[in-house]
Amino acid sequence: MEREKRRAWAEIDLGSLDHNYHALRSMLPEDCKMLCSVKANGYGHGALPVAKRLERLGADYLAVACLEEAIQLREGGITLPILILGWTDPELAPELIRYKLTQSVFDGEFALRLSQCAQRAGKTITVHLAVDTGMSRLGFLCGEKELAGTVEEVTRIYPLPGLAWEGIFTHFSDADGSEEYTMLQFTRFLDLLKALEKQNIKFKIRHCAASAAVLNYPCTCLDMVRPGIALYGHYPHPSCEDLSEDGLRPLMTLKTRVVSVKTVPAGTPVSYGRTHVLERETRLAVLSVGYGDGLPRGCSDKLRVWMSGQWAPIVGRICMDLCMADVTDLPQVCQGDETEIWGGHAAVEEVARLAGTIQYELLCGVGKRVPRVYLE
């Protein structure tokens, strides 16, 4: 679709991906591998183009949430190892084998069933053991009380036929918050590794650091790191922010255009629910973007957008496909003008704050109907 016809689009600067990738790489020990998280359509940036670029950059591994996401990458020609972080029905073992995918294993029953299905297919599935050191999400528990039981269980599943244990990992819940808790999680992880080693159980790739830990606790990098958000140019949390000039660069700019401009008399309500009543005669610009594109309705009447070199406030509720900006003080604005919703001038972090959420959610939430336009 040519530029003129687009109603809302996301420009993705792949050059910034190169920059962020190298910036992260430079923080890592030389032999530390990098697994890049491209789950949820590459955090909304388009999983395949991002994965292709990462493959070219020399990434070691990719991670996705589920089998479908992994297959999409394989069908698109990606040959890097891919780790599925979430659950896969063991009955789908033939797919894991066919597409050469790595599966995370987070309980004994699952390991057993996966092993049976792999044997039935006469093949071996590469697996990583997920350890729950305090996130209370996926993985074998390994707090003080559970450690012995987990060692026992892992000792039992480790020799199962059809499974090739390549890696072991855990995930920090507060690496952008508490150092104490992060170190507690890290210590639990190391304790488990030690206990397993005593049973002669070793893993080639031990990994635990996502973006926040890579930035805040380089000591946790081990054999591989798993950044996501930082690759897309965003700090997981303002506390991680490195204000040096060579910091991370956001990839995405969400843009739309003005589809109508008109002057409305003072006292007129704007949009659904009439939450905003115009105090003065107002030039309203109607923008062709709404919550159906991923612009959160929660920032109705709070957001400002960048158009024609100035800020313009959004007035009234954000609709599914449209929203309205007050451009009374921007007389130069006219139909067809490009408008920036986030990226460039308006940080997505600020939009997220107004909407009461985090940048991750907004990036992932950019709608299907918003074309991604890749800049080299």
Q: How far is the CB of 93 from ligand PLP (least distance, A)?
A: 22
Nearer to ligand PLP (CB atom), residue 50 or residue 212: 212
Task: From residue 271, give the alpha-carbon distance in Å to each of 247, 277, 286, 318, 323.
Answer: 40, 9, 11, 8, 8
Query: Is residue 258 within the footprint of ligand PLP (CB under 6 A)?
Result: no
Neighbours of 76 (CB within 10 A): 12
Query: Is residue 171 within the footprint of ligand PLP (CB under 6 A)?
Result: yes
Active-site entry in 33, 39, 43, 360: 39
Query: Is residue 226 within the footprint of ligand PLP (CB under 6 A)?
Result: yes
Q: How far is the CB of 177 from ligand PLP (least distance, A)?
A: 13
Residues in the interface with ligand PLP (CB under 6 A) total: 13
Q: Which of 103, 211, 339, 359 binds ligand PLP (CB under 6 A)?
A: 211
Whose structure tokens read 């990226």?
343
Q: Which of 281, 317, 325 is nearest to 298 (CA)?
A: 317
Query: Which residue number has the CB closest to ligand PLP?
Result: 228
Active-site entry in 198, 204, 262, 272: 272
Query: Is residue 228 within the footprint of ligand PLP (CB under 6 A)?
Result: yes
Query: Is residue 359 within the footprint of ligand PLP (CB under 6 A)?
Result: no
Q: Which of 46, 134, 236, 316 binds ligand PLP (CB under 6 A)?
A: 236
Q: Which of 23, 32, 229, 278 binds ligand PLP (CB under 6 A)?
A: 229
Query: Is residue 33 within the footprint of ligand PLP (CB under 6 A)?
Result: no
Q: Is 39 a catalytic residue?
A: yes
End-to-end Cα distance, the chain: 18
Q: Is 158 a catalytic residue?
A: no
Task: From residue 26, give the alpha-carbon distance in Å to each of 133, 237, 238, 242.
Answer: 28, 20, 21, 14
Q: For binding to ligand PLP (CB under 6 A), which residues are involved?
A: 37, 39, 85, 171, 210-212, 226-230, 236
Catalytic residue annotation: 39, 272
